[in-house]
Amino acid sequence: MGVRQYKNDESLKSKENEPQTEVSWATPWGKATMKKVADLNETESYDTTKSFYEDYDDTGLETCILTGIFADSEEEAIKQVRETGHCRYAYLTEDGKCEIKLTEEEKTWWIDSAKKTVDKIIEKNVDNEGYTFVLSEDYKELQVFANKDGKLSEFQADITNLVYAIEIIQLFSGADDWNVVITVTNTENGVEIAKANYPKSS
């Protein structure tokens, strides 16, 4: 969910349509894959529009536009944000943008929660013989050091949660867009076996 953040009196910029794609890269155990944004499911009856809210009032709130969504669809992203309870409003606009209205305290909650997730995942894998993670201070470069002793299913779960947390940190810290460069190095021979710029590369 790449975010563009605006105050209430600023005009919203347009968002390019993004087709359903995946980004994949090699690991010592096989191919790792993460989904990028998918097409909106038009058959779902769940109300993701502004009309979901009876007494809508965005006075004093900041506006975030989600543009590089790390979810199955724009609709799913709206559901996930609403379910946290840490925003005032989340909805799809008439032109299909994912718009979030929130306070400064709510924005801080998103950032702090994401940073805790990052720290937890990195720390639990410090002594992991199969794979470890090194993340840059600006949350834009994620290095993975791995070998065949690791389990692909566990690795994919960890890196998916890491990337989602990185997304949140960048976006709610005010970035216009988000991305993370992921490199995978085989610790058995020191060879870099994969590099992906997520979510920009395919």
The pLDDT value given to residue 26: 55
Q: How far apart are CA 131 and CA 185, in angstroms?
A: 10
The pLDDT value given to residue 98: 87
Q: What strands lie across the sheet with 89-92, from one edge to the other? A: 3-6, 62-66, 98-102, 89-92
Q: How far apart are CA 146 and CA 104, in angstroms?
A: 38
Q: How far apart are CA 75 and CA 163, in angstroms?
A: 20
Q: What letter represents residue 12's amino acid?
A: L
The pLDDT value given to residue 201: 61
Query: Global pTM?
Result: 0.73
Alpha carbon 13 to its chain's center: 20
What kind and span of H or E run contains 160?
helix 152-172
Alpha carbon 135 to its chain's center: 15
Per-10-residue mean pLDDT of the chain, 202 residues long, equals 37 39 52 46 71 94 77 84 93 89 94 96 94 97 93 91 92 86 95 90 52
The pLDDT value given to residue 21: 46
Domain ranges of the chain: 3-198
The pLDDT value given to residue 30: 54
Q: Distance of CA 72 to CAs 36, 38, 68, 77, Å?
A: 7, 5, 11, 7
The pLDDT value given to residue 141: 98
Name residue, tokens 């709130």. Answer: 61
The pLDDT value given to residue 9: 36
